[in-house]
Structure 1
Amino acid sequence: VTNPNINTKIAEKVMESDQIDMCASFTIAFRDTQISVTHPNVSTEIAQKAMESDPFKRWIKNCEKVIDRKTIILRGVEIQTVDMFGPHKVGFIKVKADAYLVFNGIEVPKAIPGIAFLRGNAVGILVALNCEDGEKYTLLVEQPRIPVGDVTCLELPAGMIDANDDVKGQAVSEMEEECMIKLKKSDLIALTETTMLPSAGGCDEGIDLYYVERKVTVREMEDMQGRLTGNKEQGEHIKLHVVPFNTAWKLSGDAKLLCSMFLYDKVKLSEKSTGGKKGKRIWGRWARHDTL
């Protein structure tokens, strides 16, 4: 067994029971038909867990949608790799679909790109700290990020959404875990009406963005600066940074941060132009058409 996504103990079990079968497959419902799901390099046990995971089921459901008389047909799906977060929780899934576009009931002959990295959705929170010194600040979290080879990556506080899809609840949990700030769900204000898709060409991830306003003292800010947080059991090593709000965008290329700051400015501009009233919802939750 050479699959790097199966840990040693599982691999030994697979070798003993011959769970990996080059011809192994499942069938799943796709609209009014059944399609084949193969997993030539993934054990039957792990493949079944992957298909039962929320990211996989959500992806299939999204592929079934019909929008503007356009839809997708899947002829089959291959599960290529599965990364487990421990023995029971499915982490990341890589699939390759035999996919075709249908427009006005006519199928386009040539297949469309079908490789997808499934990791599920996430939530990001922009913190606006209004200090007693009259200045505004925000919080960034520093942590090592292997995918980009950066040991001190600065980002917006964020986290993956659990299976219960409680976006605001997850946001509250992340704020307490990463920033040691206790919030209520009602404190969070949505920046987006639609989920942001940072890499739709290869990944299913969607990110919901929120912001929260807090009044703080200079002492409270000093206590936050450089604080070490994160879930050590999950390998998190997080350091808090308190930075001037208006220059935070210069310090990081994090897409969540840049998008949330842009949308925050639109929210405030909309409130100013309407005398504090909420604007018309278009893309940004309170963005007005005349300010976009």
Structure 2
Amino acid sequence: MATTFNAQPGNIPVSLADGLSPNTFASFKPFNKWLDQTTRSLALQASNPDHPFHDDPYTLRSVTVQAFDMFGGSRLGFVKMTADVRNGAGESLPGAVFLRGPSVAMLVMLIPEHPASQEGSGSSIPPGAKVSRGPQEKEEEEERYVILTVQPRIAAGSLEFVELPAGMVDDAGTFAGAAAKEIKEELGLEIPASELRCLSDLAAGASSSTGNSAENNQKHVREEGGERDEGLPAAMYPSAGGCDEYIPIYMHERRVPREQLKEWTGKLTGLREHGEKITLKLVRMQDLWKEGGRDAKALAAVALWEGLRRERKL
């Protein structure tokens, strides 16, 4: 017989998979954040007459945990569950959920200290990195290279998946701190969290005291000019149809000697004890949309960076 307990807020019945205790699941931050967020969004149905579900609002009836994975044998890591969300007429919403919590992604750009034209014939450029300027390229545009990781992603059936560096946020960590940690582990760069800029927050016009920043998610629902605000974090959701994960995009850029650029392509990094086998790849920023075209994080970074520059926020 499955173990059942009632989760707050809402006194929601939760049925657990065998081997998972109520105390362990009740302290699982991704579930608590998901329940708080869902509760806030459901509350907007009744409080807003113009909400599409106002006349027959949906409610969260129960949650069933189907499977789970432990990290290190003691820490709850991933959870597969279903949520029963129905209205008074018995109509239900799709409720399959993979809980894993938030992550961070990093757009790290290297700017050569000297233009390519000033370098001698002995300068080294990474394979495939074109440095000559075309007739359509703006003169004032600086030459930038983005560091990508190439690593096995078994879920995608790939052993060489190209993507922006990224990592999960620890329970006790901050988004900026997690980004700085991943940059050190995956890229070998030590960058203080204070030197990182959150593109997602900039795009949302968020700050540390207002808005829906990923670092300071809203504790309540705001109503501005009658507009519904569900309080979602300012971040990219790579698979909102089935996963709770959201990813704010951080940026850092630095100038480096041109001769050091070659050191980044092909470099082996990652924590081997955690199964990370990462190779680095350097690409022109203007080519990121192609080189990282399979990675939602890379495409989001391109859109945010270009949009913020158009609006002169970078």
Shorter chain as normaliser: what TM range? 0.7 to 0.9
2:24 to 44, 49, 64: 49
SS in 1 for 2:183: helix
RMSD: 1.8
In the alignment, does 2:39 pair up with 1:25? no
1:37 to 14, 28, 32: 14
* Residue identity matched to 1:187: E
Could you tell me which residue of structure 2 aligns to residue 99 of structure 1?
85
In the alignment, does 2:232 pair up with 1:257? no
- Larger mean CA deviation between 123-132 and 144-153 belongs to 123-132
Could you tell me which residue of structure 1 aligns to residue 252 of structure 2?
212
SS in 2 for 1:256: helix
Q: Give the Cα separation in 2 of the matches to 1:140 and 1:221.
A: 13
- Kept in 2: contact 1:132–1:216 (CA 8 A): yes
Percent same amino acid at aligned positions?
A: 35
Shift of 1:24: 2.2
Could you tell me which residue of structure 2 aligns to residue 62 of structure 1?
37
Q: Give the Cα separation in 2 of the matches to 1:83 and 1:230.
A: 22
SS in 2 for 1:213: strand
Q: Give the Cα separation in 2 of the matches to 1:75 and 1:92.
A: 22
Task: Kindly provide the CA deviation profile for residues 28-53 of structure 1, in whole angstroms up to 9, marking residues without a partner as x.
Answer: 2233xx222112x42143x5423321
SS in 1 for 2:73: coil
After superposition, residues 121-200 of structure 1 pair within 5 angstroms as: 121-134=102-115, 135-193=143-201, 194-200=234-240
- Kept in 1: contact 2:150–2:161 (CA 8 A): yes
Q: Give the Cα separation in 2 of the matches to 1:179 and 1:247.
A: 20
1:247 to 283, 287, 307: 287
- Structure 1-normalised TM-score? 0.78
Name the one with the larger strand percent.
1
Q: Give the Cα separation in 1 of the matches to 2:2 and 2:290.
A: 52
SS in 2 for 1:225: coil
In the alignment, does 2:276 pair up with 1:236? yes
Could you tell me which residue of structure 2 aligns to residue 115 of structure 1?
96
Residues 215 and 35 of structure 1: is their aligned pair in 2 closer, same or farther, counting only changes over 3 Å?
Answer: same
Q: Number of aligned pairs?
A: 243
* Residue identity matched to 2:288: A
Q: Give the Cα separation in 2 of the matches to 1:67 and 1:131.
A: 50
- Kept in 1: contact 2:106–2:164 (CA 8 A): yes
Residues 251 and 78 of structure 1: is their aligned pair in 2 closer, same or farther, counting only changes over 3 Å?
Answer: same
SS in 2 for 1:30: coil
- Kept in 1: contact 2:3–2:18 (CA 8 A): no
Shift of 1:108: 5.2
Shift of 1:98: 1.2
Q: Give the Cα separation in 2 of the matches to 1:56 and 1:266.
A: 33
Could you tell me which residue of structure 2 aligns to residue 90 of structure 1?
76
* Residue identity matched to 1:254: D
Shift of 1:113: 1.2
* Residue identity matched to 1:266: G
- Kept in 2: contact 1:42–1:82 (CA 8 A): no
Q: Give the Cα separation in 2 of the matches to 1:35 and 1:186.
A: 40
Residues 181 and 108 of structure 1: is their aligned pair in 2 closer, same or farther, counting only changes over 3 Å?
Answer: farther
